[in-house]
């Protein structure tokens, strides 16, 4: 297994830098395999979404598509795949931001009864409550 940093994922999805995007595409589409997959940590997923949203101005639908592509890629192993999927659905259904939904899903998985927040928008997600 080979770990993938956020910048590799961003170059792959943004296709904004000729040589780096080409290398990222070659790696993800041709060199990674079931025998030697790419590992994408939960931090790299969250950072990738954040960068694509802030720097590349991707909207919720575009971000959900990127996450879905990561989850469907056979040559990628996504850490906490089920929680990433849950957060992606919340984003796709416009119920909240990806990072908030991911925090909530990870908390539930860890056994939290709820995640306390001051964020009214996040409090509308399942598993959250206003403090």
Percent of the chain with pLDDT over 90: 90
Res 51: pLDDT: 98
pTM as predicted: 0.91
Q: pLDDT confidence of 123, banded at 50, 70, 90?
A: confident
| Residue given tokens 């927040």 in the structure block | 117
Which CATH code, of 2.60.40, 3.40.50, 3.10.290, 1.10.287, is assigned to 2-130? 3.40.50
Question: Among 36, 27, 37, 49, which residue's Cα sits nearest to residue 97?
Answer: 49
Q: pLDDT confidence of 93, banded at 50, 70, 90?
A: very high
Spatial separation of the C-alpha atoms in residues 13 and 79, rounded to whole Å: 19
**Average pLDDT, integer, range 96-109:** 94
Q: pLDDT confidence of 124, banded at 50, 70, 90?
A: confident
Q: Answer yes or no: is pLDDT of 14 > 90.
A: yes
Spatial separation of the C-alpha atoms in residues 49 and 53, rounded to whole Å: 6
Task: Give the C-alpha distances (Å, rounded to integers) separating 88 from 6, 32, 93, 96, 125.
Answer: 17, 24, 9, 10, 13
Res 126: pLDDT: 81
Res 43: pLDDT: 97
**Model confidence pLDDT, tens digit, residues 34-51:** 999 999 999 999 999 999
């Amino acid at each position: 297994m080979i770990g993938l940093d956020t910048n590799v994922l961003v170059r792959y999805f943004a296709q904004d830098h000729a040589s780096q995007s080409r290398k990222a595409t070659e790696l993800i589409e041709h060199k990674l395999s079931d025998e030697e997959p790419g590992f994408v940590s939960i931090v790299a997923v969250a950072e990738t979404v954040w960068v694509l949203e802030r720097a590349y101005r991707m909207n919720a639908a575009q971000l959900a598509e990127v996450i879905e592509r990561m989850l469907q890629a056979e040559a990628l192993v996504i850490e906490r795949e089920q929680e990433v999927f849950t957060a992606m659905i919340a984003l796709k259904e416009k119920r909240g931001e990806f990072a908030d939904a991911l925090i909530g899903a990870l908390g539930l998985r860890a056994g939290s009864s709820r995640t306390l927040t001051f964020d009214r928008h996040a409090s509308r997600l399942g598993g959250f409550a206003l403090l």
